[in-house]
């Protein structure tokens, strides 16, 4: 090889090397905070800088492949779930955008390239715990979340956003209970009233009596183990089903002989709002898939009581028919963590909730959190015998001799399906 050729090869190799360095630096942690959006800590430990750049440059190569994915956005808790989120949501295209050690400001800085660039179909956010370790005030952390939410909404004003409460941890991890509770309170204030965002109570889901993480689910009091991730997945599924990421097939349930269906699974025919005092009809929903305010929606065989964006809102939907005489009423229900609802039998309310967290029956042995549970109410005269998965809730529930069936919405998301009634002698 002559001298000119040698120089050309050397120059070409040098240019390639410079290009690689330049390309990689696009995904590097900024050297200073100057000009960065948000406020608070940006981590610059050597291990974090290496990981941050490696993760982000790798995702940049998958922008086309990951288009339209359901994005899980966060820190080591999210990263630790794996690229497929532990295969917890079969059939759902997911993209894990968690980086171990990241903060709310770090997420804000990388949001456009790592998340918005792939046009996500939905977002699951869990972020903020590392800010506390770096000494950030809850108000600063919530301020960054506000900017993250604004950016996501500006990109897509209809994309569902699931905001998970910051998980409990421990004072020993520089993450005291009171500060985590304050962050979650401020997070809710940021999104309150926004129907695009569903807040999931993942703090109460995992907290022990003192408000700390449980070692059985968080061995190091910070990161969930397999059981912890399974619990998180179960908490997410009802909301993902509501947004039709999962459980989109028709219900194959066959009703028992003698029962009449009170809900056709397709729309709200046979249901109405009534005046709370007089029980006179105020709005009938025959042929409609949802109430005018969107609180009650028929989705794939389920009567969904949506999470109220304002946190709590008392509301009842009733059957258009009244029921007298003796009967057996059956339904299945599923609740998000700490959800609060109720079933009205002719008029009195039988509490129907995420029982183990919201009560009043916290010692049920057969209740299945965030899964489907059977409610059976046997009415004889003015008394109802009520069970959940065969366990007695109330053996002498006093009710009027005639009246409609109703479902209440209060806090969190509740779902009811296979709602049916059989008259008995």
Residue 250 lies in a domain: no
Dihedral, CA atoms, 109, 113, 117, 119, nearest 10 degrees?
-40
Say which CATH number the domain at 127 has.
3.40.50.1110
Burial of 11: CB neighbours in 10 Å, binned 0-12, 13-18, 19+:
exposed
Tokens of 350: 């039988």
Q: What is the mean pLDDT of residues 241-261?
A: 96
Q: What is the 3-state secondary structure (H, E, C) of the chain?
A: CCHHHHHHHHHHHHHHHHHHHHHHHCCCCCCCCCCCCCCCCCCCCHHHHHHHHHHHHHHHCCCCCCCCCEEEEECHHHHCCCCCHHHCCCCCCEEEEECCCCCHHHHHHHHHHHCHHHCCCEEEEECCHHHHHCCCCHHHHHHHHHHHHHHHHHHCCCCCEEEECCCCCCHHHCCCHHHHHHHHHHHHHHHCCCCCEEEECHHHHHECCCCCECCCCCCCCCCCCHHHHHHHHHHHHHHHHHCCCCCCCCCCCCCCCCCEECCCCCCCCCEEEECCCCCCEEEECCCCCECCCCCEEEECCEEEECCCCCCEEEEEEEECCCEECEEEEEEEEEECCCCEEEEEECCCEEEEECHHHHCCCCCCCCCCCCCCEEEEEEEECCEEEEEECCEEEEEEEECCCEECEEEEEEECCEEEEEEEEEEEC
Domain stop point among 214, 242, 270: 242
Which of 242, 276, 293 marks a domain boundary? Answer: 242
* 392 and 298 housed in the same domain: yes
**40-60: average pLDDT:** 98
The pLDDT confidence band at residue 425, using thresholds 50, 70 and 90, is: confident
Stretch 324-344: mean pLDDT: 98
Predicted local confidence at residue 25, as pLDDT: 73
Asked whether the predicted pLDDT for residue 18 surpasses 90, the reply is: no
Query: Has residue 382 got a pLDDT over 50?
Result: yes
pLDDT surpassing 70 at residue 411: yes
Same domain, 269 and 295: yes
Q: Are residues 103 and 204 in the same domain?
A: yes
Q: Is residue 110 part of a domain?
A: yes
User: Can you give the pLDDT at residue 324?
Assistant: 96
Q: Has residue 304 got a pLDDT over 70? A: yes
Please check whether residues 127 and 229 belong to one and the same domain.
yes
Tell me the two tokens of residue 311. 């946190």
Q: Which of 201, 196, 200, 188 is nearest to 239 (CA)?
A: 200
Percent of the chain with pLDDT over 70: 94
For the cut 70, the answer to whether the pLDDT of residue 401 exceeds it is yes
pLDDT at 94: 98
Decide if 133 is inside a domain.
Answer: yes
Domain that holds residue 132: 26-242
Of 200, 216, 242, which marks where a domain is finished?
Answer: 242
Q: Does residue 2 lie within any of the structural domains? A: no
My answer on whether 218 and 338 are in the same domain is: no
Residues 222 and 278 in one domain: no
Task: Tell me the H-state helices in 36-128.
Answer: 46-60, 76-79, 104-114
pLDDT band for position 1 (50/70/90)? very low
Does residue 1 form part of some domain? no
Chain mean pLDDT for the chain: 94
**168: in domain:** yes
CATH of residue 385's domain is 2.60.120.560
Q: How confident is the model at residue 9 (pLDDT cuts 50, 70, 90)?
A: very low
8 inside domain: no
> Based on the domain organization, do 94 and 222 belong to the same domain?
yes
- 216: phi then psi, degrees, rounded to nearest 5: -65, -25
What is the rounded distance in angstroms from the CA atom of residue 422 to the CA atom of residue 425? 10
Tell whether 350 is covered by a domain.
yes
Q: Are residues 213 and 307 in the same domain?
A: no
Co-location of 274 and 193 in the same domain: no
Same domain, 178 and 291: no
Mean pLDDT of 284-301: 97
Confidence band of 130 (pLDDT split at 50, 70, 90): very high
Is the overall model pTM greater than 0.85, yes or no?
yes
Within this chain, do residues 52 and 124 fall inside the same structural domain, yes or no?
A: yes
CB contact at 8 A, 180 and 129: yes
pLDDT in tens, 152-198: 999 999 999 999 999 999 999 999 999 999 999 999 999 999 999 99
Structural domains in the chain (count):
2
Q: 103 and 215: one domain?
A: yes
pLDDT digits (tens, 9 = 90+) for 91-123: 999 999 999 999 999 999 999 999 999 999 999
């Amino acid at each position: 090889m002559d001298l000119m050729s040698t120089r050309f090869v050397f120059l070409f190799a040098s240019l390639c090397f410079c290009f690689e360095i330049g390309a990689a630096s696009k995904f590097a942690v900024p050297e200073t905070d100057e000009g960065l959006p948000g406020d608070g800590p940006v981590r610059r430990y050597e291990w974090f800088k290496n990981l941050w750049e490696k993760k982000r440059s790798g995702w940049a190569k998958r922008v086309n492949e990951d288009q339209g994915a359901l994005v899980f956005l966060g820190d080591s808790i999210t990263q630790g779930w794996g690229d497929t989120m532990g295969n917890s949501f079969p059939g759902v295209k997911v993209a894990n955008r968690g980086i171990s050690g990241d903060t709310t400001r770090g997420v804000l800085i990388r949001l456009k390239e790592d998340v918005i660039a792939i046009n996500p179909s939905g977002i699951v956010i869990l972020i903020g715990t590392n800010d506390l370790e770096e000494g950030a005030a809850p108000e600063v952390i919530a301020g960054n979340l506000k900017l993250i939410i604004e950016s996501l909404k500006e990109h897509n004003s209809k994309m569902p956003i699931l905001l998970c409460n910051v998980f409990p941890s421990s004072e020993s991890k520089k993450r005291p209970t009171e500060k985590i509770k304050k962050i979650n309170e401020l997070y809710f204030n940021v999104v309150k009233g926004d129907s695009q965002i569903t807040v999931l109570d993942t703090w109460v889901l995992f907290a022990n009596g003192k408000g700390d993480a449980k070692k059985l689910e968080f061995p190091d009091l910070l990161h969930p183990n397999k059981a912890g991730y399974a619990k998180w997945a179960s908490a997410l599924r009802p909301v993902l089903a509501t947004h039709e990421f999962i459980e989109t097939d028709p219900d194959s349930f066959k009703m028992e002989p003698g029962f009449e269906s009170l809900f056709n699974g397709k729309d709200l025919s046979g249901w109405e709002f009534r005046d709370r005092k007089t029980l006179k009809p105020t709005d009938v929903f025959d042929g409609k898939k949802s109430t005018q305010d969107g609180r009650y929606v028929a989705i794939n065989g389920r009567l969904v009581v949506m999470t109220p964006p304002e946190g709590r809102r008392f509301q009842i939907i009733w059957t258009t028919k009244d029921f007298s005489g003796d009967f057996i009423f059956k339904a299945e229900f599923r609740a998000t963590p700490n959800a609060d609802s109720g079933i009205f039998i002719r008029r009195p309310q039988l509490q129907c909730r995420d029982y183990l967290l919201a009560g009043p029956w916290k010692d049920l042995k057969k209740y299945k959190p965030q899964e489907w549970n059977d409610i059976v109410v046997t009415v004889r005269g003015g008394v109802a015998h009520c069970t959940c998965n065969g366990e007695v809730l109330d053996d002498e529930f006093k009710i009027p001799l005639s009246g409609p069936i109703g479902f209440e919405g209060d806090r969190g998301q509740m779902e009811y399906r296979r709602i049916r009634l059989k008259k008995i002698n």
